[in-house]
Amino acid sequence: MRDPLIKSTERGLYCAAGDFYIDPWQPVDRAVVTHAHSDHAVPECAHYLTTAPGRELLALRVGEGADIQPLAYGQPIVHHGVGVSLHPAGHILGSAQVRLEHRGEVWLVSGDYKLSPDPTCAPFESVRCHCLISESTFGLPIFRWAPPAATMQDITAWWQANQQAGRTSLLLCYALGKAQRLLAGLDPERGPIYVHGAVERCNAVYRAAGVPLPPAPPVLDAARAAAFERALILAPPSAQNTPWTRRFKRPVRGFASGWMQIRGTRRRRVVDRGFALSDHADWPELLAAIAGSGAERVLLTHGYAQALARHLREQGLDAQPLATRFLGEAGGEEDVHPDMSESPDDAAPDADDTRESDDLQDMLESPADERGRR
């Protein structure tokens, strides 16, 4: 038996034959990056390879000075004898599945992906392979998304009801990907749409890439607070309990994330309304993508990897969870309940700052929630 083409190492998924990493979580010499979310793109690598449409987002994440080589979707290159090509994953703008071919064997690293329609990025492409490394963030049968159009209708109805009550709609969502997908589905005729600075930075990249988005000026540009009365505001979850939100009078808070499928998650976020809109595959999509790849072997990362692997084994597939830093990592962000992590004795300084944080980390809000709770 030969060595596996890709192994899980301390620094991340490693291809020894080509001597490069895929989505490493520590700085390495050569990194192939599936997309610019912070759990996939780490700064300070010497060389990056990513998709052409994802290049600018990665630069925003790891710094303009980084050495980033763009590659068009579907275009093969060869590195140390390993064929590498990137294929649309349907997750966010520029997101890729990484196809590796070596001595006739094909491996596919899915990165994050979804099959449901999204006007802001290229649709998921089914790629055949021998061995598939798939994400499994929502790998339980309780996760079955409603059609995105229906969820967008719910959001629009919620916005309208808030307008009738004279209240601002504050919709929390990841600044990169989710915010643009929401924006593309909103009707600007219904009322003004404003965004947090972190969202605006990502919007600018999307617009430059030719993704049509309705006008959505930054909140800081609004002349008067009264402008927000009928407005819908898109902001990253980190803005939820900051003084920044004080400018909105009694806002109604919504949250768009796949985790909102579970009522407990919404309650723990202390928002009024949850919308189960995800940029990850749900249970049927995972099963469809895995079947569509034709893979004989499936390795799973993120979320409910154990459960999905066991289910696939019961269906006769060779499936295993792949150890990554997200597995078994006690004390990770989602492992500690928000109420429990607040220690009674460490009273925080009373910051009275209503500015937006310009922290890069904040700007590209880590989609930690989408990592799963294990």
Partner 1 sequence: MRSFAALYAALDETTRTGEKVAAIRAYLAAAAPEDAAWAVYFLIGRKPRQVVGTRKLRAWVGDAAGVSEWLFDECHEAVGDLAETAALLLPPPTRTTTLPLHRWVEERLLPLAGLDEAAQRAALREFWDELERGERLVFHKLITGAFRVGVSQRLVIAALAELGDIAPATVAHRLMGAWQPSAAQFRGLVAAESSEPAASRPYPFLLAHPLDTEPAELGPRDAWQAEWKWDGIRAQIVRRGGQLFVWSRGEELIGERFPELAPVAGRLPEGTVLDGELLPWRGDQILPFAELQRRIGRKNLTRTILAEVPAGFLAFDLLEHGGRDIRERPLGERRRLLEQLVTPLAGDALRLSPIVAAAGWDELAALRADSRARNVEGLMLKRKAAPYGVGRVRGDWWKWKLDPLAVDAVLVYAQSGSGRRASLFTDYTFAVWEDGALVPFCKAYSGLTDAELAEVDRFVRGHTLERFGPVRAVTPELVFEIGFEGIARSRRHKSGVAVRFPRILRWRRDKSPADADHLDALRALL
Contact 33, 40 (CB under 8 A): yes
For residue 112, the partner it binds in partner 1, Zn ion, none, with Cβ less than 5 to 8 A by kind, is Zn ion
Which of partner 1, Zn ion, none does residue 39 bind (CB under 5 to 8 Å by kind)? Answer: Zn ion
Nearest C-alpha neighbor of 281 from the set 134, 175, 173, 152:
134
Task: Give the nearer residue to Zn ion in terms of CB position, either 56 or 112.
Answer: 112
Burial of 4 (0-12, 13-18, 19+ CB in 10 A): middle
Q: What are phi and psi of 348, to 5 degrees?
A: -80, 155
Partner from partner 1, Zn ion, none contacting 37, C-beta within 5 to 8 A by type: Zn ion
Residues of this chain that interact with partner 1 (CB under 8 A) are 140-142, 144, 241, 261-264, 266-268, 270, 272-274, 304, 307, 310-311, 314, 330, 334-337, 339-340, 342-348, 350-351, 373
Quote the least distance from Cβ 255 to partner 1, whole Å. 11
d(CA 322, CA 356): 38
- Which helix (H) or strand (E) segment is 134 a member of? strand 131-135
Smallest separation, CB 351 to partner 1 (Å): 8
Give the CA-trace dihedral at 330, 327, 174, 350, to 10 degrees: 10
CB of 188 to partner 1, least distance (A): 26
By beta-carbon proximity to partner 1, the closer residue of 128 and 144 is: 144
Residue bearing tokens 């649709």: 123
* 362 near Zn ion (CB under 5 A): no
310 binds, among Zn ion, partner 1, none (CB under 5 to 8 A by kind): partner 1
User: Which residues ranging from 327 to 346 are in contact with Zn ion (CB under 5 A)?
Assistant: none
Query: 214 vs 243, which CB is nearer to partner 1?
Result: 243
Choose the contact partner of 272 out of partner 1, Zn ion, none; CB within 5 to 8 A by kind: partner 1
Let me know: does 134 contact 299? Beta carbons within 8 Å: yes
Q: Measured from the CB of residue 373, what is the shortest distance to partner 1 in angstroms?
A: 7
Based on the shown chain and the rule CB under 5 A, indicate whether residue 37 belongs to the binding site for Zn ion: yes
Residue with Cβ nearer partner 1 (90 or 251): 251
- Give the residue among 22, 36, 67 at the shortest CA–CA distance from 361: 36
The b/e string for 225-246 (b: 16+ C-beta within 10 A; e otherwise) is eebbbbbbbbbbbbbbebebbe
Nearer to partner 1, 3 or 352 (CB): 352
Task: Select the binding partner of residue 314 from Zn ion, partner 1, none (C-beta < 5 to 8 A, by kind).
Answer: partner 1
In terms of CB distance, is 128 or 310 closer to partner 1? 310
SS3 (DSSP) at 234: strand
CA distances from 198 to 60, 154, 177, 186, 208 (A): 11, 25, 12, 19, 16
Q: Phi and psi (nearest 5°) for 108?
A: -130, 125
**Interacting residue with Zn ion among 15, 20, 39, 183 (CB under 5 A):** 39
Which one, 101 or 369, has the nearer CB to Zn ion?
369
Q: Is residue 112 at the binding interface for Zn ion, with CB under 5 A as the rule?
A: yes
Angle at 45 between CA 176 and CA 102, to 5 degrees: 95
Residues lying near Zn ion in the complex (CB under 5 A) are found at 37, 39, 112
